[in-house]
Amino acid sequence: MIRVKVAVGIILRDNSVFVALRNSKQHQGGLWEFPGGKCEASESAEVALVRELKEECGISITECDFFKTISHDYGDKSVELFFYKVTGFDGEPDSKEGQEVRWVAVSDLVSYDFPEANKPIVVALMAHY
35 belongs to an annotated ligand binding site: yes
Query: Among candidates 127, 21, 10, 27, which has minimal Cα distance to 77?
Result: 27
CA dihedral 118, 122, 123, 129 (to 10 degrees): 160
56 belongs to an annotated ligand binding site: yes
Report CA torsion sign: 85, 55, 22, 92.
Answer: positive
27 belongs to an annotated ligand binding site: yes
Integer Cα distance of 111 and 91 in angstroms: 27
33 belongs to an annotated ligand binding site: yes
29 belongs to an annotated ligand binding site: no
93 belongs to an annotated ligand binding site: no
Q: How would you class 51 by CB atoms within 10 Å of its CB: exposed for 0-12, middle for 13-18, buried for 19 or more?
A: middle
3 belongs to an annotated ligand binding site: no
51 belongs to an annotated ligand binding site: no
The whole-angstrom distance between residue 111's C-alpha and the CA centroid of its chain comes to 17
Q: Which residues are documented as binding site? A: 22, 27, 33-36, 56, 118
Q: Which residues are documented as binding site for Mg(2+)? A: 36, 56
Q: Which residues are documented as binding site for 8-oxo-dGTP? A: 22, 27, 33-36, 118
